Every structure is written in structure tokens, then in C-alpha cells.
Amino acid sequence: MYLLSQLNGATVDTGGQVETTDNGVKVNTSNSLRAGPRGFNLLEDTSVRKKLLHFDRERTPERVVHALGHGAYGKFESYGDWSNLTMACWLQEGAVSEVFTRFSVVVASLGGSESGRDTHGFATKIYSQCGNQDLVGNHVPSFFINDGSDFPDLVHAVKFEVDKGFPTGGSAHTTAYDFFNQHPEGAFQLMTVLSDLGLPRDVRHISGNGVHTFRFINAQGQSQLIKWYWIPVLGHRSLVYDEVTTLQGKNNNFQRVDLYNNIAAGNYPEWEFAVQLFPDDGTYMFEDFDLLIPTVVIPFERNPPIKLGKLTLNRNFENFFAEPESISFAPSNVVDGVGFVPDPLLQWRLMSYDDTATHRHNSPNGYMLPVNRPVAPINNNYRDGYMQFNIYRGASISTPNTLGGVISADQQQSLQYSPASGQTAGTGNVGRYAPVYDWFGQARLFWLGLDVYAQQHTVDAYRFELGNVANASVVQSYIDQTLNSIDNCLARRVAYGVGATMPAVGSGPVDNRTSGEAEYPSLYPLAPGRQANKSNAGLDIAVIANDTLFSSADFLAVMPLLEAQNVTLTIIGPRMGELQTGNNASASFITASSVFYDAVLIGSSPTDNTTTNSPVGLDVKATAFVKEAYSHGKAVGALGNSGVNVLQGLGFPTNSSFGIYTGAAADVARSVLEALSGPVRFPQRFPTDDVQMI
Ligand code: HDD
């Protein structure tokens, strides 16, 4: 059985069919039954009554977290025979499994913005031949807390304030920071989200992280500990905060549109599945790292991950409700060969997801929905319940039985929880334990790994968040207790920006490294050194055109270069449709915004054949468009001989090291494409703090 045929079996095509009632009788419900053309509606109109009754109930509860999401189908291919590590059938020689991946944001509700600053979810269901394997991760490698018992408190604190009803979809408020003050273990995770990593351009350019340690078990019963990752083949790309705030208003579906359109265009995003391996010697330690603490990460430099396979997303869903909305993930869905460790965050996750799915589907039978059902057969004694639509044969629904019902697997067939899995119970006195650790150490490493521009963005993010916290003592406490324990300069800069008391110079920890002196560059994949030679596939460049700007000769010069890299060119005109140059504007300044595009070109005029041309007149909207792109650090190119004048007219430096390009159309396009594959943006244009003054 394959997933697609399973889904096809459940697919209904009502196109072109005559409307019927739910008892299958042909009907027209477009006009209700009335007592005369101006009379009352009749109670007898049961068809319209049922139409409304169904509509009144067509929403299911949104997920309590990660409500806002979307996704796509694809495949997972094992790179080889990993039977030395695990029995998991999806990691054996030649194994190819179908998958669905759902991307989400934690805080925002349905209808909110996908581009807000947040932790993004990356949940994959692998429909393998030996059962469903769910890999339920996030886009950053750490977490806010270490114990699932704190999860309801974290979510209550971060979602909107209950006595006010705002803010929806962000952590910049008092209850969130009051919680963070009580939970220093989340300092590193919060900093990653407040860096540019918290603002991914789209989901094609994020990684997935399992966060916890898991266990691989091979057929000999040997076990190893692992941490898993999805590494994006396209690399990482982020937005800048101001861009996000505009994007949220202009198109709060930007991320799902990007994924949907790229898959439809055949630009299939890929991720490599990689694991870090640790010996399972009973200590759950790797060198000085505690593998049971999910707020601590193991830098790739200390334990390089090995690549085991590849995920490709290549098919859009057919129905949003039945597929991305109805899919249920659970970290407890593992196949033989994958097991757990006694990490108290993971342990509570093992029960919470099935529980919430039962609530969301209003039934324990949600696992039988087409998108949730494994392609491996399910045979058990689960019976009845709301919306049970299978008709089970036979008398016995008990095991063991002698009446022809389900039989138990023997120990050889059922290895998941057997002693051979290495699943050992902990020992010690019963108690409620809290781990003790240097919670600020990894945040400091991360902070010192950022260059001055990335540090500035992160400082500004703290200033934004704390600047929106209404309670001054909560703000001061976060600065004194958390930020100053990470880095004194960071704490002073944030305090300076929000008008709080600056901790005394030198009152933080002593660390003589300065910005960019990364010990573990892997902690910040957006670091300049990691930004070179990226693929530009699926990016979109805008060109400013009108009835004289952007000649068809320029179009012909630029297009082949872009097409060769799967980059789209959107011609933006004062109106959509054909322009007098012969080009077709597919967007106007009314439908488009600079934040939708990765770089901007300014078309040259067909009469532009001298270097002494006066600046071509860009109208106020075109000027605002280009200036906004410039202010977001994007590459800007002016085509043709008068390009220099155009850019000077806009007040830009005509300096290629600032990502500003002029010259013949093909040369400018080449330079812009090169800029997009690294460094991507030119943060030198942004103001930075005068650190000596603070
Ligand atoms: Fe969770 C959803 C990821 C901790 C309880 N979580 C959810 C989703 C992702 C994650 C990606 C969306 C799944 C989807 O697309 O449907 N969650 C994580 C990660 C965590 C984490 C990586 C820490 C390492 N979560 C966590 C804890 C608990 C939960 C500690 C509870 C004890 N998470 C849930 C949930 C959700 C959920 C309430 C809401 C919807 C759902 O499960 O299906 O059960």
C-alpha cells in the first residue's frame, strides 16, 4: 500500500456533479423555501437547515500551540544501509518512504502571520513500510524549558495576556518576560529566536532540529544515542525585522505561498537528515554536555553530524483541512529501532501529542484519517468511539484469544520496548529534581559568535521585546539577572536602549573575546563565512518598469541569467498588463511591495544611451519601493548607462561593496545574482551602536 493510493481512495471529486442533500437526493439549496416570494422561510426547508447546521460546526479547535501551519508531501531516501546503527526500516539500503512535512509557528493563531518572530515547527511524518515515524522538531536546536511540567506555564505566559487579550502572536510583553525571568535555562533559546535566525525568509531555508537526545537500536540490540537534524540544501536565509513587520501586513501567508509556488514550479526543497552519535554508556553525557537537557546543544564542531538520507518536498496537498490541518504528529510515533531517553521534556511530549489530537479530532479515531493512517497495516483491538467508520469482522476483540482475533507479536517481532532496546529505567530516590547547569554559557558563545551587525540586530530585538514589557521591574530583572549573566556589554546596550538602569561596567562574566570570535560557528548558520555560494533557486527579483523604463532588450539580456538559476523576475509597473515598452507588468505598486523580493533592479530607458543622461524620473511610489529595499540591506541594480545618475538621484552610494550595481543589464544581473548567493544582504547600511559610548 502506498500513501498516494491511500489518499486517492479517500479523495472525492464533486466537480460537475449535481448538488444533493446528505441523504443523496438531488437538490438546489441556492434559494431557500419560502411562503411566497416575500414570505417567511419554512421550517420544512430541511436541506438548507442541514447546510447551515453543517457549516456551523465545520471548525475543529486549533492546535493549542503551532496552530498556524502549512505543509507538503514528499519522499525520504536513505543514503545507504544504516543497519549498523538502527533497525528503522526507513534507514536501510535503498529505502524510499513517502512523507508529509508540516511547518508552523508556535504562538500565532490561525489567520495570524507566518513571518513573525517565533520558533518555527518542522514536523515530518515518514509513512515507512514498518509504520509511521514522526520527527517532530523545531527550526532552532534548543528549547525554552527542560521539563514538560513547565510547558503549560510557558505557553500561557507567551500567548496573549489573559486580562487584556493582546498581544496575539509575539513574546514582547510582560507575562512572557516574567516567565523568562524565572527560567534562566531558556536564555540561549530566546537569544537564537531574537537573532535573525528567528526571522527566516521562508521554510525552504530553515533547518529542523529534534532538540532531544533519542536512541537508535540495531537488530543486535545495541543502542547509541543520537540527536537528529534536517540540514537545508538551500542553506539558511533570513529577513530583517522591519521587513517582517511590513510583510505581516502585506502578505501574512508569504511563507506558505513561497513553498506552494516553488513546489508547483518544480523547485523542490531538500534537506539532508543528519545525526550526531553518542555512546550509550548509561551516563547520558557527551564530554561535558548533558544529553538529557534539551536547553543545551552540542555544537557540530564538537561532534560532526553524519548524513543518513534526504528529504524532498515535491507535492502540494489537495485540501487544506483534510491534510495539513488534520494531520497529527506525535514524538511517540517511532518504529522499531528508534527509542527514547529519560529527558523529562521528551517524556511528557510522549503523552501530550496523542492527547491533544484526541481532543482536536473529538475522537480517539483521528489516527485513521487518510493523512494520519500508516501505510503499514494496523491490526489491534481499538474499537468503536466517535466516528468509527471501519466495519471489523470477527467475534474476538481481546488478545490473547482462541477465536481468530489479533495475536500478540513475540519478543523477536516487538523490539521497541523490550530490554534489547536499551530502554533502561533510571534509579534513585523518588523526587522532583531540577538540573543545575551554567544556563548562560551557550548564550554567551552564541552572542560572541555574531558579527557586529548580527549583534546589533539581536540587541535591537531585545530592545523591542523589553521596550514592550509594561512592568519596569520585570525589564530590570531580565537585564540584571539574565542579560548581564550572558555579557555585560549586551546588558548595558539593551538597558541603554530601553531606558533601564545599566548594570555597572564589568559586572558581568569575564570573557575577553569580542564579536565574531566564534568558537562554534555552527551555532549561527547565518554567519558571513557560512553564506557563500548558496543556491538562488526560488528567489524573486523585482524590476521597476513603466512605459519607458526597462527596455525589451534589457529583458532579453537579464532573463536567461535568472532562468538558469531558477530565479523569477517580477516586472512591477504603474499598472498591471502590457506596457509601451512591450513588456508585461505582472505586478503594480498597488499589488506588490519591496518586501516580497530578494533584490531590486531599476530598468533603463530605451533612449538611455549616454552616460550623461539626467536621472530618469522615478515616481514617488517607485522611489519608495527602491528605498525600502535598500533600507533592508538588499542588492539594488540600475540597468544601463544612466544607472549611476539614477542611484545618485536616490541618494545611494554607487559602491558595489555596498551591494549597489550599475552598468550593462547583463552585468548588473550577474552581480545581483552573485550577491544573492552570498553575502545576501549588506548590513553595513544599517546604523550600529557606538559601543564606546555605552
Ligand atoms: Fe510541541 C505541537 C515541536 C515541546 C506539546 N510541537 C508541536 C508541533 C511541533 C512541536 C513542531 C506542531 C506539530 C504539527 O505540525 O502539528 N514541541 C516541539 C518541540 C518541543 C516541543 C521541538 C521541544 C523540544 N510540545 C513540547 C512539550 C509539550 C508539547 C514539552 C507538552 C508537554 N506540541 C505539544 C502539543 C502540540 C504540539 C500541545 C499542539 C498540537 C499538537 O501537539 O499536535 O501536544
Each residue's pLDDT tens digit, 221-256: 888 999 999 999 999 999 999 999 999 999 999 999
Q: Whose alpha carbon is nearest atom 34 of ligand 1?
A: 353
Q: How would residue 614 be classed by pLDDT, with cut points 50, 70 and 90? A: very low
Query: Is the minimum distance from the CB of 101 to ligand 1 under 6 angstroms?
Result: no
Segment holding 488, helix H or strand E: helix 488-498
- Reference 573, options 588, 592, 583; nearest CA is 588
Candidate from 60, 62, 63 with most ligand 1 atoms within 8 A of CB, to mutate: 63
pLDDT tens digit string along 493-548?
Answer: 999 999 999 999 999 998 888 887 778 989 999 988 787 789 999 999 999 999 88
Domains and CATH numbers, the chain: 68-141+200-368 (2.40.180.10), 441-530 (1.20.1370.20), 540-677 (3.40.50.880)
Dist. CA 246 → ligand 1 center (Å):
28
Name every residue whose Cβ is closer than 8 Å to that of residue 668 and which is 6 or more positions away in sequence: 601, 637, 638, 639, 643, 661, 662
In the chain, the percentage of residues whose pLDDT exceeds 70 is 96
Query: Is the minimum distance from the CB of 63 to ligand 1 under 6 angstroms?
Result: yes
**8 A C-beta contact, residue 605 and residue 655:** no
Supply 8's cell numbers. Answer: 486517492
User: Which atom of ligand 1 lies closest to the CA of 351?
Assistant: 32
Q: Whose alpha carbon is nearest atom 19 of ligand 1?
A: 137
Residue with the three cell numbers 523545531: 138
265-to-2, 75, 98, 101, 260 alpha-carbon distances in Å: 24, 17, 20, 18, 9
Beta bridge pairs of residue 68: 105
Dist. CA 123 → ligand 1 center (Å):
9
Burial string for 575-610 (b: 16+ CB within 10 Å, else e) reads ebeebebebebebebeebbbbbbbbbbbbbbbebee
Between 391 and 613, the higher pLDDT residue: 391
Q: How would residue 612 be classed by pLDDT, with cut points 50, 70 and 90? A: very low
What pLDDT shows up at residue 426? 64
Dist. CA 353 → ligand 1 center (Å):
7
**CA gap 659, 647 in Å, rounded:** 12
**CA gap 6, 24 in Å, rounded:** 25
Segment holding 131, helix H or strand E: strand 131-138
Task: Return the ∠ at Cα 466 (arms to 598 and 628), rounded to 5°.
Answer: 25
**8 A C-beta contact, residue 557 and residue 612:** no
How many other C-beta atoms lie within 10 A of the C-beta of residue 165? 8
Kindly tell me the number of DSSP H helices and DSSP E strands found in the chain.
17, 20
Segment holding 460, helix H or strand E: helix 452-467
- Annotated catalytic residues are 66, 138
Task: Name the packing angle between helices 452-467 and 241-250 (round to 10°).
Answer: 60
Dist. CA 138 → ligand 1 center (Å):
9
Least confident of 34-38, 108-112, 500-504, 656-660: 656-660
User: Which atom of ligand 1 lies closest to the CA of 121?
Assistant: 11
**CA gap 229, 271 in Å, rounded:** 9
Dist. CA 41 → ligand 1 center (Å):
47
Least confident of 151-155, 540-544, 651-655, 665-669: 651-655
Strand-strand pairing, 540-544 and 599-602: parallel
Query: Is the minimum distance from the CB of 62 to ligand 1 under 6 angstroms?
Result: no
- Reference 209, options 326, 296, 332, 98; nearest CA is 296
**CA gap 403, 384 in Å, rounded:** 20
Predicted confidence (pLDDT) at residue 77 exceeds the cutoff of 60: yes
How many other C-beta atoms lie within 10 A of the C-beta of residue 430? 5
**8 A C-beta contact, residue 664 and residue 588:** no
Query: Is the minimum distance from the CB of 329 to ligand 1 under 6 angstroms?
Result: yes
**CA gap 588, 584 in Å, rounded:** 11
User: Which atom of ligand 1 lies closest to the CA of 346?
Assistant: 30
User: Which atom of ligand 1 lies closest to the CA of 71?
Assistant: 15
Name every residue whose Cβ is closer than 8 Å to that of residue 327 and which is 6 or more positions away in sequence: 71, 100, 102, 125, 369, 371, 372
Average the pLDDT over 328-332 and give the result: 97
ipTM confidence score: 0.95
Q: Residue 70 CA to chain centroid, in angstroms?
A: 10
pLDDT tens digit string along 7-42?
Answer: 999 999 999 999 999 999 999 999 999 999 999 999
Q: Whose alpha carbon is nearest atom 42 of ligand 1?
A: 353
Task: Name the packing angle between helices 665-676 and 552-564 (round to 10°).
Answer: 30
Query: Is the minimum distance from the CB of 143 to ligand 1 under 6 angstroms?
Result: yes
Query: Is the minimum distance from the CB of 137 to ligand 1 under 6 angstroms?
Result: yes
Torsion of CA 190, 512, 527, 686, to 10 degrees: 80
**CA gap 357, 553 in Å, rounded:** 57
Dist. CA 62 → ligand 1 center (Å):
13
Q: Whose alpha carbon is nearest atom 3 of ligand 1?
A: 137
Burial string for 308-322 (b: 16+ CB within 10 Å, else e) reads bbbbbbebbbeeeeb
Query: Is the minimum distance from the CB of 103 to ligand 1 under 6 angstroms?
Result: no
Query: Is the minimum distance from the CB of 148 to ligand 1 under 6 angstroms?
Result: yes
Predicted confidence (pLDDT) at residue 417 exceeds the cutoff of 70: no
